[in-house]
């Protein structure tokens, strides 16, 4: 991976980019880390190793691993699984008032980032994080070529389903075109294509259950766990697209070049096998 010399985040991100490059600096960041710093996910607040030239070696275990975890429903179940695999965040991670996105762990060579579930897959696929945990719904929706999901963690169980208003008697099978509100346009289109229906997807990131009653879309595709939210909003589940569980994901290149990633995969797989036994 190409390494980018820098002197400080101030020079690179506060309007002095050419100056920062001109002053050959004390350390290096990868382009992936550069993107995290630029976006504000990672602060520039750590010492960095000396540059060893423009290219990294194929097995650079001096770099800090970045483990991405999702905000929301999966995280509470994931933390005990992570602990058994030796991934334990600092105390500040559990502070509800803490707005930080990056955290230290009990391992000096690893940090955690806590981001939205969809962003976990993006960070890992592009190498900004080497390993993470995310629902299989996100993996299927994006289908990143550089993302590998070696372990089913058997947590975060739910399903991706189609729902409509309880008093809507129309059947989608009789239509050739259907407007659907969803956070998952790719999975939704594929599902309805198999039924010979062209789905016009309206992308929403929340409050999906409001779409039918407000006339935005006749049906929705969303995650369902108990079905209580659907019922409280006058909706009924009409079709189950796929069952969902949380998976351990890794960047394919990192798995090949950094033995620590493979060791973590083995640790999570051992826990998964023990639960299944």
pLDDT digits (tens, 9 = 90+) for 5-30: 444 443 444 444 443 333 333 344 55
Q: Which of 148, 99, 97 is nearest to 121 (CA)?
A: 148
* pTM for the full predicted model: 0.77
CATH of domain 158-244: 3.40.190.10
The pLDDT score that the predictor gives to residue 39 is: 58
196, two tokens: 């010979």
Q: Give me the residue spans of the domains in the chain.
A: 1-56, 65-157+245-276, 158-244
H/E stretch holding 242: strand 235-244
User: Running DSSP on this structure, what letter comes out for residue 59?
Assistant: S
| 96-126 pLDDT tens trace | 899 999 999 999 999 999 999 999 999 999 9
SS3 content of the chain, % helix, strand, coil (to 5): 35, 30, 40
Q: What homologous superfamily does CATH list for 65-157+245-276? A: Periplasmic binding protein-like II (3.40.190.10)
Say how far residue 255 (Cα) sits from the centre of its chain: 17
In CATH terms, are 65-157+245-276 and 158-244 the same topology? yes
């Amino acid at each position: 991976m190409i390494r980018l010399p820098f002197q400080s985040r101030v020079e690179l991100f506060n309007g002095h980019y050419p100056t920062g490059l001109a002053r050959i600096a004390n350390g290096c960041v990868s382009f992936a880390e550069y993107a995290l710093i630029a976006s504000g996910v990672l602060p520039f607040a750590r010492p960095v190793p000396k540059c060893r030239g423009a290219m990294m070696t194929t097995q650079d275990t001096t770099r800090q691993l970045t483990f991405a975890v999702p905000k929301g429903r999966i995280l509470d179940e994931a933390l005990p699984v992570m602990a058994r695999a030796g991934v334990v965040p600092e105390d500040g991670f559990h502070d509800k008032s803490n707005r930080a996105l990056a955290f230290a762990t009990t391992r000096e060579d690893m940090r955690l980032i806590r981001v939205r579930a969809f962003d976990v897959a993006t960070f890992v696929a592009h190498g900004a994080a080497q390993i993470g945990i995310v629902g299989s719904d996100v993996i299927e929706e994006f289908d990143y070529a550089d993302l590998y999901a070696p372990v089913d963690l058997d947590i975060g169980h739910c399903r991706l389903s189609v729902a409509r208003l309880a008093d809507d008697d129309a059947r989608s099978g009789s239509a050739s075109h259907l407007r659907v509100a969803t956070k998952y346009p790719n999975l939704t289109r594929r599902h309805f294509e198999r039924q010979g229906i062209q789905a016009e997807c309206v992308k929403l990131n929340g409050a999906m259950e409001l779409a039918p009653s407000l006339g935005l879309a006749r049906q929705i595709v969303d995650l369902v766990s108990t079905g209580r939210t659907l019922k409280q909003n006058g909706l009924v589940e009409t079709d189950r697209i796929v069952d969902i569980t949380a998976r351990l994901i890794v960047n394919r290149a990192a798995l090949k070049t950094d033995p620590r990633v493979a060791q973590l995969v083995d640790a999570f797989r051992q826990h998964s096998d023990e639960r299944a036994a």
